[in-house]
């Protein structure tokens, strides 16, 4: 039963996506769209309660497709399918009068299928295959509007992604030489033979991290994010920020903890360089978000910064840092879903895209600004919202595990939190307290509001009752 659930979680959105092009009725197409998204989430949740295991699919000489549902994969599969469902429901109203909605639904579902595939991938070959599929299938979501600006953004997204994938492929090739297997095994499989070639092995590991870091928005391969997000439809921006960046994070976790192993990397130049890059990304992303005037681009720069909080925790190679990183992955994904969908609701209802145009709008869109405020409080790290828990763990892990660099990291995280408050709170304050040009209620319809309110409420509930989630994630640190 468990293996069937894994395959169904991939096949359901893939088949539904293909059928989108064959169904002419908009009503039937939308019904299948939501049903496929909901069924995928049900399959992902069901795997959590039916156990874990490994399923070989196809052997091709030295390469093999292998699926499994370890706890890490289950976490990401539930997160991905939940946020795709919320953004998908939002898109039905957002794209309601768009003649290209069928095409959007098609590639949206196919992208989810690829995301589920990489969640359940149990070796580097399978992960790399679905990682490339995810890039190619999500690209049409970026150029959906068909403008010259969106086409240029999509090509930039593709170019950066392919360059990152080439680095991953280089690292994958050498990992196959120095590891007993490229299957994902807790603790890594770097072997004694590889110890004689530690220098080149570390270069291979660094290439893997840098390549996957492109999708996660880590310096120096982060420039696609602030270009792709503003031109994509808001539901696509939400999944780009909340989930597709996390595919890069998951690739880094798999490479660090399940291929090379934390013991191999801890204390090396690779760890030092990666920590510096992560912290530089945290700070620069916050600074650029603070200066940005376009709402969706400001949120995109925020993603550049906030995802690297998680990368900092991963590169500490410590239990506290790893737990904090996983918490940050979950809480950031929920926050950015709420923020980008809120921005989408504002654009859909008013056509306003710049921060300076939102004064007084909170009085006419109270539900939207309520959700925006909750997500902002969590992203800054204000208790009792969930973001406080992850940021506290990351700062604590940095101070405990990495000496002077860790203390500097904790300071950078604090400065970034202040900058985050500086670029998010004024939107809420001016929106709710100032007088504006708007003279009638502008809150969107029910499908949009449900998609906004659920992640915002979850951020509060998970902040108040983090214990079960934190305990489950802490259990994963046994690989260290």
Integer-rounded Cα Rg, in Å, for the chain is 21
Give yes or no for residue 269 having a pLDDT over 90: yes
pLDDT in tens, 23-71: 888 888 889 999 999 999 999 999 888 876 666 676 666 677 888 888 8
| 400 — pLDDT class (breaks 50, 70, 90) | confident
Distance from C-alpha of 338 to C-alpha of 345, rounded to nearest angstrom: 10
- ∠ CA(241), CA(242), CA(247), 5° rounding? 90
DSSP letters of 253-297? HIIIIIII-HHHHTTSHHHHHHHHHHHHHHHHHHHHHHH--BHHH
> In terms of pLDDT, which residue wins out, 401 or 292?
292
Structure tokens given for 3: 């293996």
- Residue 338's closest CA among 316, 312, 371? 371
By 3-state DSSP, what share of the chain in percent is helix, strand and coil, each rounded to 5? Answer: 80, 5, 20
Give the side-chain half-sphere CA count within 13 A for 139.
17
How much is the pLDDT for 310? 95
Task: Compute CA distances 383 → 155, 248, 339, whole Å.
Answer: 40, 28, 18
Which one, of 434, 170, 414, lies nearest residue 283 by Cα? 414
Report whether pLDDT(225) > 80.
yes
Query: How many angstroms separate the CA atoms of 86 and 68, rounded?
Result: 25
Cα–Cα distance, 474 to 480 (Å, whole number)? 11
Return the pLDDT at 196: 64
Instruction: For tokens 């994010």, name the residue.
Output: 225
Residues 6+ apart with CB under 8 A from 311: 213, 216, 218, 249, 252, 274, 278, 281, 325
What's this model's pTM, rounded to 2 decimal places?
0.94
Which neighbouring-strand residues pair with 325? none
What single DSSP character describes residue 444?
-
Does the pLDDT of residue 204 top 80, yes or no?
A: yes
Query: pLDDT above 90 covers what percent of the chain?
Result: 56
How distant, in Å, are the alpha carbons of 131, 329, 399 from that of 307?
Answer: 18, 7, 19
What's the average model confidence in pLDDT over 469-476?
83
DSSP 8-state code for residue 475: G
Range of the domain at 399: 267-480
CA–CA distance, 453 with 219 (Å, rounded to integer): 33
pLDDT band at 258 (very low <50, low <70, confident <90, very high): very high
439 belongs to a structural domain: yes
Note the pLDDT tens digit of each residue in 108-143. 999 999 999 999 999 898 999 999 999 999 999 998
Q: For residue 218, name the pLDDT band (cuts at 50, 70, 90).
A: very high
pLDDT at 479 over 70: no
Mean pLDDT is lowest, of 81-85, 171-175, 242-246, for 171-175
Query: Is 10 within a domain?
Result: no
Residue 48: inside a domain, yes or no? no
How many domains does the structure of the chain reveal? 1
- The most distant pair of C-alpha atoms in the chain lies apart, rounded to whole Å, by 72
User: Is 420 in contact with 305 (CB distance < 8 Å)?
Assistant: yes
Q: How far apart are CA 325 and CA 355, in angstroms?
A: 30
Confidence check: pLDDT of 314 > 60: yes
Confidence class for position 283, pLDDT limits 50, 70, 90: very high
Q: Are 366 and 413 in contact (CB under 8 A)?
A: no
- Write the CB contacts of 99 (distance below 8 Å, at least 6 apart in sequence): none
Mean pLDDT, rounded, for 407-417: 89
Q: Given the structure tokens 């400001």, which residue do they identify?
A: 298
The rounded percent of the chain whose pLDDT value lies above 70 is 95
429 assigned to some structural domain:
yes
Does any domain span residue 36? no
Which of 416, 232, 461 is CA-nearest to residue 307? 416
In a domain, 354, yes or no: yes
State the pLDDT confidence band at 195, using cuts at 50, 70 and 90.
low
**pLDDT tens digits along 320-368:** 999 999 999 999 999 999 999 999 999 988 888 898 888 888 888 899 9
The pLDDT of residue 57 is: 72
Least confident range of 122-126, 365-369, 371-375, 475-479: 475-479
Mean residue pLDDT of the chain comes to 88
Mean pLDDT score, 281-295:
93
Residue 2 has pLDDT above 60, yes or no: no
Q: What is the mean pLDDT of residues 382-397?
A: 91
Residue 400 is assigned to a structural domain of this protein = yes
408: left (phi over 0), alpha (psi -120 to 50) or beta: alpha
57 found inside a domain? no
């Amino acid at each position: 039963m468990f293996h069937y659930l894994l395959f169904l979680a991939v096949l359901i959105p893939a088949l539904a996506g293909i059928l989108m092009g064959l169904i002419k009725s908009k009503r039937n197409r939308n019904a299948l769209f939501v049903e496929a998204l909901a069924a995928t989430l049900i399959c992902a949740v069901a795997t959590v309660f039916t156990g874990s295991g490994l399923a070989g699919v196809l052997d091709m000489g030295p390469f093999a497709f292998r699926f499994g549902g370890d706890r890490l994969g289950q976490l990401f599969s539930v997160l991905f399918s939940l946020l795709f469902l919320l953004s998908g429901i939002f898109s039905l109203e957002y794209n309601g009068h768009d003649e290209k909605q069928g095409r959007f639904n098609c590639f949206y579902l196919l992208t989810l299928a690829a995301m589920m595939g990489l969640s359940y991938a149990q070796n580097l070959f399978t992960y790399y295959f679905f990682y490339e599929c995810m890039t190619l299938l999500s690209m049409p979501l970026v150029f959906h509007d068909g403008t010259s600006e969106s086409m240029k953004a999509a090509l930039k997204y593709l170019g950066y992604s392919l360059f990152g994938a080439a680095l991953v492929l280089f690292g994958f090739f050498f990992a196959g030489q120095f590891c007993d297997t490229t299957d994902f095994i807790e603790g890594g499989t770097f072997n004694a033979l590889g110890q004689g070639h530690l220098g080149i092995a570390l270069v291979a590991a660094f290439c893997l991290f840098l390549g996957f870091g492109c999708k996660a928005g880590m310096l120096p391969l982060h420039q696609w994010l602030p270009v792709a997000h503003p031109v994509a439809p808001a539901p696509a921006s939400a999944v780009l920020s909340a989930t597709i960046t996390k595919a890069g994070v998951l690739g880094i976790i798999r490479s660090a903890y399940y291929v090379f192993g934390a013991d191999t990397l801890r204390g090396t130049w690779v760890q030092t360089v990666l920590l510096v890059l992560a912290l530089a990304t945290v700070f620069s992303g916050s600074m650029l978000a603070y200066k940005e005037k376009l709402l969706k681009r400001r949120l995109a720069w925020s993603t550049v910064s906030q995802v690297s909080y998680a990368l900092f925790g991963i590169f500490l190679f410590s239990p506290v840092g790893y737990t904090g990183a996983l918490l940050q992955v979950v809480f950031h994904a929920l926050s950015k879903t709420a923020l980008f969908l809120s921005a989408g609701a504002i654009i859909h209802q008013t056509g306003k895209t710049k921060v300076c145009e939102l004064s007084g709008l909170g009085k006419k869109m109270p539900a939207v600004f309520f959700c925006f405020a909750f997500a902002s409080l969590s992203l800054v790290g204000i208790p009792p919202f969930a973001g406080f828990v992850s940021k506290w763990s990351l700062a604590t892990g940095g101070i405990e595990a990495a000496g002077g660099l860790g203390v500097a990291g904790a300071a950078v995280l604090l400065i970034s939190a202040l900058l985050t408050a500086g670029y998010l709170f004024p939107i809420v304050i001016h929106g709710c307290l100032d007088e504006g040009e708007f003279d009638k209620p502008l809150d969107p319809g029910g499908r949009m509001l449900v998609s906004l309110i659920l992640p915002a409420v979850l951020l509060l509930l998970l902040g108040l009752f983090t214990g079960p989630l934190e305990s489950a994630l802490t259990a994963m640190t046994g690989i260290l």
